[in-house]
């Protein structure tokens, strides 16, 4: 299968050798699925559209007692709030069994209305949004669960109170990532609507639940990587593990100082890299589509704009 997508054009599909049942599944309209509305401040979109990470003054409401086992992804989930973000947040430490100091720090402030300085990759994705409206800046009460309805994650965390845990961005021992072809079919076919709320300077993204959290795939750079404020970004083809092209063009995001960033900075156009990634909504494309709505009919109803956050590289 090949999924062909362009940076600023409507997703197009080339599906070979697939049954009619799959084709029908891919064409299920968004209205048939549970809707999630995410309303963001335009200033937030513009600030973070070309950034890999976010810094937060994070109030830890509820955390897992212990990290997930490797077979279940190895993360430690932490529910909380931060004024810099203004949405329900779940922050996650990757490979948390190897990060005792970070885990202990989280538990030392948990449920005490105390804050911790936390940095990590921002991730806007409807994995646990539920049938809800998520409005940036709305009042949030303390959470009594590690998994409140949320669309915003700081995942993975890269530092706590100034102490780096960048080394946690590595393959997860004992974990089986999602299949690349299955995951990217889902990502590419995710419906959306973008609504510009000009009077209050916000933008609403309407979409549905999205899964396939960790996926293993390869990338082939179609340009040299470029540095951004807090990391590196590059456009690349998405390949499966047999080197078959799945997506022709998609933005890849690398956190500053992480092993994935170190690896990609050594590469050039045409080079490949074997990676573990998670999807997030591409705020650069949200901004682009909003600004070009008057000149490109239908652009606000194109499939959900997304990019891949690269959280580990494999030692091929």
Identify which has the larger pLDDT, 17 or 67: 67
> Which is nearest to 259 in space by CA: 102, 94, 67?
94
Q: What is the pLDDT of residue 131?
A: 57
Lowest mean pLDDT among 27-41, 67-81, 145-159, 188-202: 27-41
Average pLDDT over residues 27-37: 59
Q: At a CB cut-off of 8 Å and minimum separation 6, what does 294 contact? A: none
Cα dihedral: 71, 76, 79, 80 (round 10): -150
pLDDT digits 0-9 by tens, 87-99 = 999 999 999 999 9
Given this model, what pLDDT does residue 198 score? 83
Residue tagged 């949200």 (tokens): 286
Q: How confident is the model at residue 27 (pLDDT cuts 50, 70, 90)?
A: very low
Percent of the chain exceeding pLDDT 90 equals 85
CA dist 151 to 26, 180, 286, Å? 23, 22, 16
Hunting for tokens 């956050």 — which residue is that? Answer: 309
Per-residue pLDDT tens digits for 69-82: 999 999 999 999 99
Per CATH, the number for 35-165 is: 2.40.50
Does this model's pTM top 0.95? My answer is: no
User: Distance between CA atoms of 291 and 149, rounded to whole angstroms?
Assistant: 30
Domain borders along the chain are 2-33+174-313, 35-165
Give the pLDDT mean for 13-21: 32
**What's the pLDDT tens digit per position in 110-120?**
999 999 999 99
Confidence band for 237, pLDDT divided at 50, 70 and 90: very high
What's the pLDDT tens digit per position in 184-208? 999 999 999 999 998 899 999 999 9
Would you give the DSSP letter of residue 294? T
pLDDT attached to residue 5: 46
Q: C-alpha angle with apex 207: 127 to 33, nearest 5 degrees?
A: 85
Strands 35-41, 306-313: pairing kind: unpaired
pLDDT score for 19: 35
The pair of structure tokens assigned to 252 is 């890849």
């Amino acid at each position: 299968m090949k999924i062909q997508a362009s940076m600023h054009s409507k997703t197009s599909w080339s599906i070979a050798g697939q049954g009619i049942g799959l084709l029908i599944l891919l064409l299920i309209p968004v209205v048939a699925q549970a809707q999630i509305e995410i309303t963001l401040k335009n200033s937030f979109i513009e600030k973070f559209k070309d950034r890999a990470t976010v810094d937060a003054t994070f109030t830890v409401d509820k955390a897992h007692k212990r990290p997930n086992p490797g077979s279940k992804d190895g993360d430690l989930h932490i529910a909380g709030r931060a004024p810099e973000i203004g949405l329900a947040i779940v922050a996650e430490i990757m490979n948390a069994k190897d990060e005792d100091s970070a885990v202990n720090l989280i538990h030392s402030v948990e449920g005490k209305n105390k804050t911790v300085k936390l940095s990590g990759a921002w991730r806007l994705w409807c994995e646990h949004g539920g049938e809800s409206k998520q409005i940036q800046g709305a009042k949030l009460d303390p959470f009594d669960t590690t998994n409140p309805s949320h669309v915003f994650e700081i995942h993975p965390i890269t530092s706590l109170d100034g102490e780096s845990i960048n080394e946690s961005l590595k393959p997860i021992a004992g974990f089986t990532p999602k299949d690349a072809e299955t995951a990217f079919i889902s990502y590419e076919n995710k419906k959306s609507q973008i609504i510009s709320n000009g009077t209050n300077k916000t933008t609403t993204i309407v979409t549905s639940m999205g899964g396939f959290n960790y996926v293993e795939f390869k990338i082939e750079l179609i340009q040299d990587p470029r540095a951004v404020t807090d990391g590196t970004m590059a456009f690349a083809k998405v390949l499966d593990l047999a080197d078959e092209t799945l997506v022709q063009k998609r933005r890849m995001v690398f956190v500053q100082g992480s092993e994935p960033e170190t690896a990609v900075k050594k590469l050039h156009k045409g080079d490949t890299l074997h990676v573990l990634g998670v999807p997030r909504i591409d705020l650069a494309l949200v901004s682009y589509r909003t600004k070009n709505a008057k000149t490109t009919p239908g652009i606000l109803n194109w499939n959900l704009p997304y990019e891949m956050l690269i959280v580990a590289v494999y030692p091929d």
